A and B are shown apart, each in its own frame.
Chain A
Amino acid sequence: DGGITQSPKYLFRKEGQNVTLSCEQNLNHDAMYWYRQDPGQGLRLIYYSQIVNDFQKGDIAEGYSVSREKKESFPLTVTSAQKNPTAFYLCASSIRAATSSLFSGANVLTFGAGSRLTVL
């Protein structure tokens, strides 16, 4: 079955440590995203990538880094510079990299199951 796999599901980090969250998709989607969700809040975009070897900062990129070496993979590193990293992290993908026509109904965002990061 096609989908998005995030790992680990739960992760605990000590202060000062970097941690990397994995995201793999087999949907053949061009675009991939990382969102952060805090309790009672909506989704905030950290980074997104429209094509291999290219990515853009979202609204809250500080303290995070990403890479896109393969179409299927978009790992997120939470660095020690991120002062409040405890949150629910969601990876997502969408089929098309650029919206170039009015046929935008197919450009649906599909989510992985999420990774919950807790700082000890």
Chain B
Amino acid sequence: QKEVEQNSGPLSVPEGAIASLNCTYSDRGSQSFFWYRQYSGKSPELIMFIYSNGDKEDGRFTAQLNKASQYVSLLIRDSQPSDSATYLCAVNPFTGNQFYFGTGTSLTVIP
């Protein structure tokens, strides 16, 4: 079983703060890692993906990957109320074409 674990939250941060979302995975062969945002009643939308150790930045979002610790995180700087959503971590192993999802972390940004 290839497991992806996330803290379900809810996580609450004040507007303008940094939100930190964490994800661990069990399959050491995993190669690609994704963060999706899902608003209530809507389908997931891709925020960013990462496949090399280190940080990857895109605007207010930074993904961090540490393969040795089997850990991937998402930082949201200058959090806005519109960032309030559930964030899903997904993992794609090197072989095969399945994507394994965590249960998601609910984030609320308080104005």
Contacts and interface: CB of A to CB of B under 8 A. Distances in A.
Interface of A: 31, 33, 35, 40-43, 45, 48, 50, 58, 90, 94, 96-99, 102, 104-105, 107-114
Contacts of B44: 43, 90, 111
B97 A50 contact: yes
B26 interface: no
6 A-B pairs with least C-beta separation: A42-B103, A111-B43, A43-B101, A104-B32, A114-B43, A42-B101
B74 interface: no
Interface string B80-101: 0000000010101111111101
A56 to B, nearest CB: 9
Contacts of A35: 101
B94 A42 contact: no
Interface residues of B, number: 26
Interface in B63-111: 88, 90, 92-99, 101-104
Interface of B: 8, 31-32, 34, 42-46, 49-51, 88, 90, 92-99, 101-104
B69 to A, nearest CB: 20
A31 B49 contact: no
27 contacts: A31-B97, A33-B99, A42-B88, A42-B101, A42-B103, A42-B104, A43-B101, A90-B43, A94-B99, A96-B97, A97-B97, A102-B31, A102-B51, A104-B31, A104-B32, A104-B51, A104-B94, A105-B32, A105-B49, A105-B51, A107-B32, A108-B34, A109-B99, A112-B43, A113-B42, A113-B43, A114-B43
A42 to B, nearest CB: 4
A43 B88 contact: yes
Given A50-B97, A108-B46, A114-B43, 10 more contacts: A42-B101, A43-B101, A97-B97, A99-B31, A102-B31, A104-B51, A104-B94, A109-B34, A109-B92, A109-B99
